[in-house]
A and B are shown apart, each in its own frame.
Chain A
Amino acid sequence: MQTLDCARVRQMIAEASSQQLAAGMPGLAKDHIADCAQCAAYLKSLQAISDTLGKSIVPAPPEVYPNVVSALNPSPSIFTRRLIVLLCVLVAIMAAAAYVWHYYYKINNPEPDTMANKAGCSLLSKPTQTQSKASPSNRSRS
């Protein structure tokens, strides 16, 4: 009958799949282990290694899911963001140009101060003929 020495059996144990380890090893190795306390103890230690490895699951960092979600809902690309900034700048320039144009237009084309008259702001407006007639000196004479 073929027999195995301890060194060969331990090599077989170390190289066995986790399923073979859990099943206590196949064939000739199993027979040897049944009669050899040291190889049986070696099998137990490798079974412990196998079981422990199977449970060696560490927690993933908490930021992983938020990162995945933000990748699934992408924020505007750099190009889009630059386009938005450019549009804002253009609108600001146009607004400033309109303001400046309006300012010089008013200087070059002064409006008749009808508004001031309507509001009765005579102090702000140039004295008109009617107003000079109604001046305090005229009134005191009359």
Chain B
Amino acid sequence: MSEYSGGAISELSDGELLGLAQSGQRAAFEVLFHRHQDRVYSIALGILGDANEARDVVQETFLRAYKRLGSLNQDKGLLAYICRTASNAAIDILRSRRPARTVSLDARFELGFDTADPQSTPDIQVIRDSQADVVLDAVVSLPEEQRLVIVLHHLEGLQLDEISSRLKIPVGTVKSRLGRGREMLRRKLVGRV
């Protein structure tokens, strides 16, 4: 096994780095790790709301990816695989820690969409200027059902139908959770709740 010597390894694509990692170059795996660890951590934190659990999920995710390096496909998105592994692990933790619930939050949570309040330009600027940690804190404070959909759509980048099959809920439910979650977030970020 010869070390990579073709220029800055950090400039290689995920697929190229994966190929090097598969040939046994730990440095390539390290670059992949540092490239994606923050997104993976943010997804786990957004779902779990607990920094220690989120850290464990990141570690487990990359360890699992390393152990399965040989079976990973260089052409398919590595980031998508890593994010899916992390969000599935986080959802499993979330489900294991809560008691079974029979009443859906969708049924209990009534929040109208803002028809009376014209959106002011300063409010929009407040939202755009929000720091990542403040936004993530606001996401974590959402009810679990809204939070999951928000994280899977906006941080993991899943389409609404993909969220539907991942969470085994109808697309209409995904949309209503997304809508309520965004409306709650908007109010939190502009300081109206």
Contacts and interface: CB of A to CB of B under 8 A. Distances in A.
B118 interface: yes
Given A14-B183, A42-B114, A65-B34, A49 B189 contact: yes
Contacts of A51: 128
B89 interface: no
B25 interface: no
A48 B113 contact: no
Q: How large is the interface on B (under 10, 10 to 19, 20 to 34, 35 or more residues)?
A: 35 or more
Interface string B115-128: 10011100110011
Given A15-B175, A45-B186, A67-B59, A57 B115 contact: no
B185 interface: yes
A22 interface: no
Most buried by B among A6, A46, A57, A60: A60
Given A11-B179, A60-B38, A65-B34, A18 B127 contact: no
Given A14-B178, A58-B136, A60-B55, A6 B160 contact: no
Interface in A66-91: 67-68, 71-72
Most buried by A among B42, B130, B176, B182: B182
A50 B179 CA distance: 11
Contacts of A56: 42, 46, 132, 135-136, 139, 154-155
A129 to B, nearest CB: 80
Interface in A1-42: 6-7, 10-11, 13-15, 17-18, 37-38, 41-42
A53 interface: yes
Contact of B153 (A10, A17, A64): A17
Contact of A42 (B42, B119, B154, B175): B119
B66 A72 contact: yes
Contacts of B40: 60
A41 B63 contact: no
Contacts of A41: 118-120, 124
A64 B40 CA distance: 12
A52 B130 CA distance: 7
Contacts of A112: none
Contacts of A18: 153-154
22 contacts: A7-B113, A10-B115, A14-B179, A14-B183, A15-B175, A38-B118, A41-B120, A44-B124, A45-B186, A46-B182, A49-B186, A52-B128, A52-B189, A53-B150, A60-B38, A61-B55, A65-B34, A67-B59, A68-B33, A68-B62, A71-B59, A72-B66
